A and B are shown apart, each in its own frame.
Chain A
Amino acid sequence: MISEIFILPGHNTALVSKRFRCDTDKEAKKIFVQKIKSRDPQHSQPHFKENGHYFYYVKRNGLFFVAVSKNEISPVFVIEFLSRFYYICKDFCGVVSEDSIQANVLLIYELLDEILDCGYIQLATTEKLRPYIQSEPVLVSEKSPAEDIASRLFGIETRVAPGSAANKPVVCSNTDLESRKHEIFVDVIEKITAVINADGTLSRMEVNGSVNMKNFLMGSPQIKMAFNEDLTLSKKGADKGYGNHVHLDKYSFHQCVKQEGFEKSRILTVVPPVGEFSVLTYSVGGDMSVTLPFRLTSALEDLDRSRDMMVTLRLRAEIPTSTQAVNVTVSCPVPGNVSSMSQHLTGPGQTAIFLSENKHIVWKIKNLPGKTEAVGQFRLINQTGGKMNKQEVGPVAMEFEVSGYTNTGLQIRYMRVYDRENSYVPFRWVRYITISDSYIVKIL
């Protein structure tokens, strides 16, 4: 039985707080804040007991979603619920941030009223909650300045969905019912975890992907999604065949997916609930012949007549020429006795800084088109004396985002919506994005 739920932003005043049972201290919030602020948030475990109260929390977007209880409840259960609660808030408010929660306080209170009664969870799906919620969501727009200027200068409605279109709340108010666009967004997101040895061979790699759908359509239309024809799913114990076809090792479908046609023609029939959910989550791992999206080669040389060392990093993007990687960050640890660094970078849009607290070089590349290279030469200056230990250079950690590309090659060939009741043709948007989860390249 959950006694209290509150949402806390970075500073100490709670945005929303509701008590369901009167057995917890009114000052429970203060106890939580004290405990969390006393240590770095990275150290605080997601659940703990303090002052006779049990606290459970998840941290999303800088906001803490906290549940308090007087009795011990299974932590897995509460944390699953808090994650679900975050998604419900997202469905109703569009974006979850301090501003949007503050603007929608009444809505969140209504939600909490209906989701929990006396500390027991009654309903926690967007669809079932919608009939009970009367408040209208207030949109907090987060337009980037570029978009703003573009829309003012050109004043045209383009058919390219801006990045923020998918941030609208799924549940709209009654006034918007007429002007609502019938849209469905599908995001294929792949996260790569890889460790690559110094000689370029792969130590291990795992790609975790999910096909997420954000459904703005009313009613329950049937949607047929077709994937690559050469997609194979791993059966237990069978070996993966050779060849370039797309292969998924582990996969799991959402409950609303009917898989009958999948074996033959790779078509899924989905009857989606309203809101955001994952149609399919999959993972590909182990030893496979998947191409690495980035190759990093390095050279370390000691300079003559000096105690300095020259580190050359050559980063090559192996992604197709039609795509580009953005927000690429290459972070390289360096020996402890490096005092400063000088750099030589090819091309504009690149910056490199040396962080002396944790002895890292952070090289940022704004964008790197496919099949191109970026080279960075860094001279590590040693003024403190002693030789520099080459062993302490690396391993390099990379972060990147590539849109329009999936590492496994998974693609949605087409998506058709069958709706008997309505005569509109909904807009269907599909986006592919590959991001790094943990991409490590060893230097030595």
Chain B
Amino acid sequence: MDIYDGLTDISYLAHQLEDRAVLADSSMCRNLIGKILSKTMRGEDVSALHPQLLKLLAHPDMVIKKMACQVMIETAVEGSELIILAINTLLQDCRDSNPILRGIAIKTLCSLKHPAFTEYGIKVAQHGLSDQNAYVRRSSVLGCTKIFHQDKMLPVDHGLVDELYSILRDCDPIVVMNALVSLEEILQSEGGIVFNKNIVHHLLNKFSTFTTWGQAYILKLLQKYVPKNEDEIFDILNILDSYLSHSNLGVLTNTLELFLHILQGFPHLQMEVYKKSLDSLLWVLGSGNAEISFTMIEFIEKYLTNVQDLFFPHFKSFFCRYKDPIYLKEKKISIFPKLVTKDNVEEILDELSMYSTVFQQEVSLAAMKAMAKIVENQPDLADSCLSKFGILLQSEVGHIISNILQVLQTLDLSRYGDLQALMTAACSRHAHLVDNEEGQCALLWLISEYGATVDEAPYIIEDYLENFGAKTPLKVKLHLMTVTLKLFFHQPAQCQSILGELLEKCLADSNTEVQLQALFYF
């Protein structure tokens, strides 16, 4: 099916659909309606085809009818005549003997945004609430919500709220679920659906009959209910206990949240809940589904501060896989500082050093930042970290040096004498390797802070000065000035000429910020 049809095709389609022979041929019609659908999706105007659409709406083939309804819903905001003419067909379908047809008709009637339709829609939906067939009831319940969004007072006026509450006792679980979410939306201004003890008990007793997704919705809504006493709390826990290890993660996470919510007064029980769901939470990380792993780690992060101890032994689950996308690796690496203990620090640091040398720059930077964080948060474990930094400083790869300098900038190196020495040695040896903006700024900043011990500092500055030009980034220029000035105070003799030259160049620079700073220093 070619979706790149030209505009002229509208007349072609109109012509085709006038032909009786074509209308009788279902597969050709399906093809044509497919093309109309593609056009609507791309935002093209198909109002010229409205008369033909009416015919398709009344077509006996179910697929064509569904698609015609779909096109009507999308485009009928503008074309009002079409809808008025379509009312008859749809109302007839609402009384058809085939329940699927009734359901589709109700869905369509309630979705159309036209004042004339909403009156019909509400009547049809109300009538459908007591239909024999479950499919029709499901469509009718959600039809009420759709009408609510067009006219907020209609459902209330027609007494639908009470009817929806009573339909919570329906035998079909999807109807019940639809009623719950409908009530939640319709009563939004009042805070949503109100749960009383009877409703909650009814839902819990029938909980296993709901679809997985229905269960997830209900668990979310149940957070609104306040159990009256301890017995009720334990009842709820007992019934829903098995869902803490459910295979669908939406259900699992909602159950966990619900339990933690109702157990707010029982911290030791909350710990039990965490323990029970731990295996399932960690299992996901090995599944290979990158998006799910990422969202689960985000979920775990929310609770990590409370239950760090539980996760300490499982740090290996968070190790990065070779094929993980960058966002996932960055996320996993950011978790490591929180999982570090005396026992696992060596292994974690080994792993982080390995990540620090990969060619993906973002991952390398993230790994080094994580190591720096470990140094900050847990000073007693800092020694191993620092030795790793020392090894990294000997690398000859541009981006690694640039990353590590950026990270070292954030640490107070005066506390770590050895590291400082290593850093200064590295600065002098590898200054030429640092090629990206952030790295250069970091290098200059470090020299300015600890420059007294760096012998070659003036020569490094001279290098930069030579390359000073329009292409040098703004930040580097500003840093350059700061660093030269600081060095001047340490080694006036050597720096005087450099400083003079630099200031001259900066004053002549086109950027006002640079000029201002130069003036200030002068």
Contact = CB atoms under 8 A, between A and B. Distances in A.
Bound together: yes
Interface of A: 1, 13-19, 21-23, 26, 40-47, 57-59, 74-77, 79-83, 102-103, 105-106, 109-110, 113, 117-118, 120-124, 132, 134-135, 191, 193, 204, 206, 208, 250, 252, 254-255, 283, 285, 333, 335-337, 358-360, 386, 389, 391-392, 395, 397, 437-440, 442
A252 B247 contact: yes
B30 to A, nearest CB: 6
B253 A77 contact: yes
Task: List 10 A-B pairs, minimum CB-CB distance, nearest first.
Answer: A77-B250, A46-B291, A438-B322, A358-B359, A438-B321, A121-B213, A336-B397, A118-B142, A42-B326, A75-B295
Contact of B63 (A19, A110, A124): A110
A359 B74 CA distance: 52
B41 interface: yes
A1 to B, nearest CB: 8
Contacts of A439: 322
A118 B139 CA distance: 9
Contact of B288 (A14, A18, A208, A389): A208
A219 B138 CA distance: 27
Given A46-B291, A336-B396, A440-B322, A76 B213 contact: no
A437 B142 contact: no
A331 to B, nearest CB: 9
Given A76-B253, A397-B322, 17 more contacts: A22-B113, A41-B325, A42-B326, A46-B294, A57-B291, A74-B253, A75-B298, A81-B250, A110-B63, A117-B138, A117-B178, A122-B178, A333-B358, A336-B398, A437-B323, A440-B322, A442-B354
Contact of B3 (A13, A45, A117, A204): A13
B201 interface: no
Q: Which secondary structure characterizes the binding site on chain A?
A: mixed
A25 B434 CA distance: 45
Given A106-B34, A120-B217, A113 B70 contact: yes
- Of the four ranges (under 10, 10 to 19, 20 to 34, 35 or more), the interface on chain B belongs to 35 or more
A193 B321 contact: yes
Candidate in A18, A44, A80, A123 with the most chain B CB atoms within 10 angstroms:
A80
19 contacts: A16-B41, A42-B325, A43-B325, A46-B294, A58-B289, A77-B216, A80-B249, A102-B3, A120-B177, A193-B286, A204-B316, A208-B288, A250-B283, A283-B286, A337-B396, A389-B395, A392-B397, A397-B322, A437-B321
B327 interface: yes
B362 A123 contact: no
Contacts of B107: 117
B43 A124 contact: no
Q: Which secondary structure characterizes the binding site on chain B?
A: helix
Interface of B: 1, 3, 30, 33-34, 37-38, 41-43, 61-63, 66-67, 70, 74, 100, 107, 113, 138-139, 142, 145-146, 149, 174, 177-178, 181, 185, 211-213, 216-217, 220, 247-250, 253-254, 279, 283, 286-292, 294-296, 298-299, 316, 319-323, 325-327, 354, 357-359, 362, 391, 394-398
A315 to B, nearest CB: 17
Nearest to A41: B325
Contact of A437 (B41, B279, B288): B288
Contacts of B291: 46, 57-59, 79, 82-83
A43 B329 CA distance: 10
Contact of B42 (A13, A117, A255, A358): A13
Contacts of B287: 208
Contacts of A359: 359, 397
Given A250-B283, A392-B397, A437-B288, A124 B322 contact: no
A15 to B, nearest CB: 8
A105 B1 contact: yes
Nearest to B280: A252
B42 A113 contact: no
Contacts of A40: 326
Contacts of A105: 1, 3, 34, 37-38
A124 B359 contact: no
Contact of B41 (A14, A58, A75): A14
